Structure 1
Amino acid sequence: MIDLSAPPAFFVLADARAPSCLVPGIYGQPDREGLVAIDIVVTHGGIAEVHPAGTPDPMPRVELGGRLVLPGLVDAHTHLDKGFIWPRARNPDGTFAGALRTSDADREANWTSEDVRRRMDFGLRCAYAHGTVAIRTHLDSIGKQTAISWPVFAQARAQWADRIALQAVSLTTIDHVLDDAEFQPMLDAVASTGSILGAVTYMTPSLDAGLERVFDAAERLGLDLDFHVDETADPTARSLRRIAEVANRRRFEGRIMVGHCCSLARQDEAEIDRTLDEMATTRISVVSLPMCNMYLQDRVPGRTPRWRGVTLLHEMKARGIPVMVANDNARDAFHAYGDLDLVETYREATRILHLDHPVGDWPRIVTSTPADVMGYNSLGLIAPGRRADLLLFRARSLNEFLARPQSDRIVLRGGRAIDTTPPDYAELDDLMEPRNV
């Protein structure tokens, strides 16, 4: 039996099952869940060849017995600067307003360079242990925090370059982009690090002017855009359509990602159609954050929530709009739980959003779609010429995969099994004493 923690230079992962949408080429008829049976030839840490299962090969074989294999996972929306603060900054009532107040107070009191660095590194080690190969994180870029968090991110990106590809997005309100004292330092940080320009959009008298200024800057500097959009149950929140209209009118050539878009699910069909029609002619992609928004949205003390807090992924996908799901927050005021595990997120998204019967190509939403949207063309698929960054599961079907947490998965990086033990929360105990929060 091959020890995958110290594998030979050449071996075959034999009789694997993988979603056909993640394996370019034809390898026989997919089963009822869309899985194909393949052998994966690994050479010097890379995928050299992919064959139909059972293809003769003289190399040493790891017999998987029909078990599921996925490519490394891609997380398109996180907040590595906010994460893992729960013991010192608990949301008092679980509401969105409570999360804003608590997070703002914690940032002012505690977010030093060392605090952000340690918590960001902790989050990255969690994601790495779970099998994530690329992450986009939003960074609060308000007041003094811009000068603190962006250098920390740049350092983390360099330190993690051979393990997790990192992107950053500036995060401020659409009102703040009209304030030169706020906007210019943020823009400088984004441009100097080759990052993505972002803001939170909502229905404010400043929305149109703020959007024009953000698009002006993105066009001038050649930046992509990423917005937090309409994270509310209010059906009158319609900044999503405004973004699409501006992008179409300006013929914006960059990529635009929009996250949350919760209010769209609360609008009537005519308004939904108008918004989706506008979006379908742009380069807009959508990321839903089901676990975080299930936690925050429609929370009223003593009352059972009436809706799920997620956006219309089925309808968007049917119109050719790229859609994804991602982790968002972990153990902070916006989401008390989570561990930056995209397997958990995909499992819960399947249940919450009904991404099954049939499964179809929904496995793309945490793999190849975010990889494409984020510009990582070498990630998200099981194909020759790519690194053997793979996740091996005991599950032999997607049903078995979705039924259990899969905490016993094997994560290969460059064909070698890594330690999948997440870091101990106790590492951060000395940071968790609340100060003025």
Structure 2
Amino acid sequence: MDLVIRRAQLVTEPHGKLQDIGIEDGRIVAIAPHLDTAAEAFDAGGRLACGGLIETHIHLDKARLLEVCPAETTRQISPVHYVAGFKPQITEEDVYRRAEITLREAIAHGTTRMRTHVEVDPGIGMRGFDGVRALVAQYRWAIDLQLCVFPQEGLINYPGTDALLVEALRRGADVIGAAPRYDTDHPGQIRRIFELAREFDVDIDMHLDVGNTPEDMDIHLVCDLTEQYRLGGRVTVGHMTKLSLLPPDRVAAIARRLADVGVNVAVLPATDLYLMGRERDHDVRRGVADANFLVEHGVNCSISSNNVLNPATPYGDCSLIRMANLQANVLQIARPEQLRECFAMVTERSARILNLRDYGIAVGNPADVVIIDGTSPEQAVSEIRHPLAVFKRGRRTVTRPAARLHDPA
């Protein structure tokens, strides 16, 4: 063996039952209470060990845009249309620089796999795509990066966008996305995206059903097409803020349909808290979908960052554990099993969204391991416990020393 992570608390083991994790040639080759080997060792000291954290929905190409276009000042804002005016100024080099800083922050917070959305349209061309794609090979030592291309400002109503989506898919984009809210023909965009997914055999990841009223939801068509195209497990919808405006019985009915056809949901609490309810000056709605409720009704969900330091979300540190804590706060989650589900939504459940077959601490899997400064998933979420060490394919990529108090006594 090349490396042994000793005395690790695994998510799957009872509290206090510690395990050693043996690693060779970048893969986990043994898990046992004690591995008798002279290999290099890292002592987890009884701390929580899990598979690498997974970011399922972020926009690296639009991260840190506050440097270019400052936050809007009015109560009513439209970040998509606002940013559109700055697109001609954005260069491939600028996208690369801002995306790289953000990617490094995510890596430092324990993320080892990521799906980033990248928009293409005649306003930005392929500059955003090329700027982010350059990071895929450069940072493979620390993170596996998927690119999801999508039409942010419309598809049917924005001539030239379709051809750019096709070009990106031909150049290796991993996933096709959508944002029908900004199209004059919601069904037309959705149907075209499903056609492209079938043509290029890629997964689908849409921005869906964002709004201050629950009418005219597109999720029903998405479910129908998922069933028609037999894409169960390969379709994800992000945001879904309109679910927060419906009574539990109606959400439960939609959840059962999502579960039956295999549509995942990515909940994005930071952005949705910032953007929803802005038409009100008091008693402001939260606008965040209840991922725990959806999971209880059979839906696979993730919790993700979406935007970082841009007009749609003017803050963020790329910490998925902090994002899970935010979701728990907003939805008033407190029971240990619920907090454990929130943790699963940045680990195992996120892996299912990315259709990973080799995720987690198990013999034969890549040795992507995060050591968290806590002893349970519940503690990690409730106390925002940070990763102290990260390993990617058995190679240490991150070191974060634990805090020390220098007591003068």
3-state SS in 2 of match to 1:386: coil
Aligned residue number for residue 161 of structure 1? 140
The question of whether the paired residues in 2 share the 8 Å contact of 1:66 and 1:396 is answered with yes
Higher RCO (CA-CA < 8 Å; seq separation 6+): 1
| Distance (Å, rounded) in 2 between the aligned partners of 1:252 and 1:186 | 20
Aligned residue number for residue 104 of structure 1? 84
When normalised by structure 1's length, the TM-score is 0.81
Aligned residue number for residue 66 of structure 2? 86
After superposition, residues 55-74 of structure 1 pair within 5 angstroms as: 55=34, 57-59=36-38, 62-74=42-54
Aligned residue number for residue 20 of structure 2? 39
When residues 414 and 341 of structure 1 are mapped into structure 2, their CA distance, relative to the original with a 3 A threshold, is same
After superposition, residues 400-411 of structure 1 pair within 5 angstroms as: 400-407=379-386, 409-411=388-390
| Distance (Å, rounded) in 2 between the aligned partners of 1:400 and 1:207 | 42
After superposition, residues 137-216 of structure 1 pair within 5 angstroms as: 137-173=116-152, 175-177=154-156, 179-202=158-181, 206-216=185-195
CA RMSD of aligned residues (A): 2.8
After superposition, residues 297-336 of structure 1 pair within 5 angstroms as: 297-299=276-278, 302-305=281-284, 307-336=285-314
In structure 2, what residue type is equivalent to 1:39? D
Aligned residue number for residue 210 of structure 2? 231
Deviation at 1:329, TM superposition (A): 0.6
Aligned residue number for residue 4 of structure 2? 12
Residue 256 of structure 2 corresponds to residue 264 of structure 1: no
| Distance (Å, rounded) in 2 between the aligned partners of 1:268 and 1:133 | 37
The question of whether the paired residues in 1 share the 8 Å contact of 2:223 and 2:257 is answered with yes
In structure 1, what residue type is equivalent to 2:30? E
3-state SS in 1 of match to 2:50: strand
The question of whether the paired residues in 1 share the 8 Å contact of 2:390 and 2:397 is answered with yes
| Distance (Å, rounded) in 2 between the aligned partners of 1:154 and 1:10 | 32
3-state SS in 2 of match to 1:388: coil
Aligned residue number for residue 345 of structure 1? 323
| Distance (Å, rounded) in 2 between the aligned partners of 1:106 and 1:371 | 34
The equivalent position to 1:366 in structure 2, one of 346, 350, 354, is 346
Q: Give deviations 1:253-309, integer Å, cap 9, x for gaps.
A: 67111000000120234543442233222231110011221222223575352x322
In structure 1, what residue type is equivalent to 2:188? A
Aligned residue number for residue 6 of structure 1? none
When residues 270 and 191 of structure 1 are mapped into structure 2, their CA distance, relative to the original with a 3 A threshold, is farther
The equivalent position to 1:378 in structure 2, one of 353, 358, 370, is 358
In structure 2, what residue type is equivalent to 1:330? V
In structure 2, what residue type is equivalent to 1:167? Q
Percent identity (aligned): 22
| Distance (Å, rounded) in 2 between the aligned partners of 1:94 and 1:82 | 21
Q: Give deviations 1:120-165, integer Å, cap 9, x for gaps.
A: 1111111112221111111121214132122223322222233211
Deviation at 1:419, TM superposition (A): 4.5
**Range with bigger deviation, 125-134 or 313-322:** 313-322
3-state SS in 2 of match to 1:281: helix
Deviation at 1:203, TM superposition (A): 8.9
When residues 260 and 119 of structure 1 are mapped into structure 2, their CA distance, relative to the original with a 3 A threshold, is same
Residue 30 of structure 2 corresponds to residue 49 of structure 1: yes
When residues 87 and 174 of structure 1 are mapped into structure 2, their CA distance, relative to the original with a 3 A threshold, is closer
The question of whether the paired residues in 1 share the 8 Å contact of 2:371 and 2:387 is answered with no
| Distance (Å, rounded) in 2 between the aligned partners of 1:44 and 1:245 | 44
The question of whether the paired residues in 2 share the 8 Å contact of 1:130 and 1:341 is answered with yes
| Distance (Å, rounded) in 1 between the aligned partners of 2:399 and 2:277 | 35
3-state SS in 2 of match to 1:298: coil
In structure 2, what residue type is equivalent to 1:85? L
| Distance (Å, rounded) in 2 between the aligned partners of 1:139 and 1:180 | 18
The question of whether the paired residues in 2 share the 8 Å contact of 1:223 and 1:254 is answered with no
| Distance (Å, rounded) in 2 between the aligned partners of 1:218 and 1:10 | 41
The question of whether the paired residues in 2 share the 8 Å contact of 1:138 and 1:171 is answered with yes
| Distance (Å, rounded) in 2 between the aligned partners of 1:244 and 1:128 | 34
